[in-house]
Amino acid sequence: MSDQLSAPNTKVNTKLSAEDAYEKAMEHLKADELAVQYRYRSSNLRTAAEFFELAGDYQDASQHAALCREMAEKAEEEGKADVCRAVREREKIAKKDDEWASMQKDLEKLGDYPAAKEELKKVLQVRRKKARKSKVIRSIVLAVIILAAAGIPAGIHNGFFKYMMGWIYSKADMYSMAEAAYRKAHGFADSGEKLKAERLRHLDAAEVGDDVPYGDYTWKILSREDGKIVMIASALKEDSDFYGQPFNKDDADVTWEDSTLRSWLNGEIYEDGFADYEKEHMLLQTAEESGNQEYGTKYKSAGGDYLTILSAEETDGYKDEIGSLSGTWWLRTPGNAEDTAAVMSADHTVLYYGYPVDYTELYVRPVITIEDGWMEEEE
């Protein structure tokens, strides 16, 4: 039991008679009714249990001992919940890092208590952001000194200045801004290699739900497990490659296996949209056989795709992750007939009736799977 929730137990005198031990146990049991802090309640109850156990078969001592231990465990659980509630209140007003560090320490004492583990994630995230901000400030000061020493005004938007800004953001682990700065450096020095390195660092540090660049596009991470990262296209606009593409160019009975959308994604988009080093780590995917749960239409299993799209069934497993995606977009599942395909609506509802396969005013949200763990080695 952690220091946060426990208090020193009273030393039990093992030489007491059964009757005296029973009376001592009752005293601690009554004292528990007056205890406000959970740690003292738990301590009183556990001490009472020890005295009851010392009383042996005297009256109902054994039953009381078991009940006291059960009540002590409950008090400890309530105490842990109380610590979590207190931390949530402190989060609302905390400003300094030492305040967040104190909350981290309190939560870590609770071990594997589920609510504490979730709250600890939030606290650690805030502390990381604050640390990055401090890094940025220190790096900016250093960069200004370097720029001044080089005789280059910090306001000049040339390749050197953008390169230095990329270096600043990189030191602060601000990956997206570092990438943008190196991209604007226009080939200055080794900005191309720096851009690649930042992209890999960004991907290596990203978590489920984060947006990351890969190839020419931005992707949201749907899952990251078993050595694989599954991502779906995000941040789409109507002038992007992934708007206005039909499921199939002709109005015909067609499923994913034979669709022009499949061939376009695994042809033009795959070939032109990714660097060679990125293609090396893209994994082939299989569209498992499935069907439309409302209309009974089905499609066969289709393998060997570097880019695919989600089925209606698969969206159920990613509700939290796709909840921020806008627009209406194609799904792999056929609609009410084989010349239609189901879609995900803008309000995140599967429209099983579907749209005609040659309809063009929709988004496409490709899904890719890449190897996990290769980023540091490549960098």
313 versus 205: the higher-pLDDT residue is: 313
Q: Which helix (H) or strand (E) holds 120?
A: helix 114-149
What is d(CA 367, CA 26) in angstroms, rounded to the nearest whole number?
65
pLDDT tier at 30, thresholds 50, 70, 90: confident
Predicted local distance difference test score (pLDDT) of residue 199: 81
Q: Which of helix, strand or coil describes residue 210?
A: coil
Q: CB-based contacts of 309: which residues, under 8 Å, 6+ apart?
A: 256, 261, 265, 329, 330, 331, 332, 364, 365, 366, 367
Residue 127 half-sphere exposure toward CB, CA atoms < 13 A: 15
Instruction: Give strand pairing partners of 330.
Output: 343
The helix/strand/coil state of 284 is: coil
pLDDT at 7: 42
pLDDT, one tens digit per residue, over 342-369 is 999 999 999 999 999 999 999 999 999 9
Q: Give the three-state DSSP class for 370.
A: strand
d(CA 327, CA 237): 9
pLDDT band at 14 (very low <50, low <70, confident <90, very high): low
User: What is the torsional sign of CA 306, 309, 310, 312?
Assistant: negative
**What single-letter amino acid sits at 300?**
K
Tell me which residue has tokens 């056989």: 289
Instruction: State residue 5's pLDDT score.
Output: 43
pTM of the model: 0.60
pLDDT per position as a tens digit, 87-111: 888 888 888 888 889 998 988 888 8
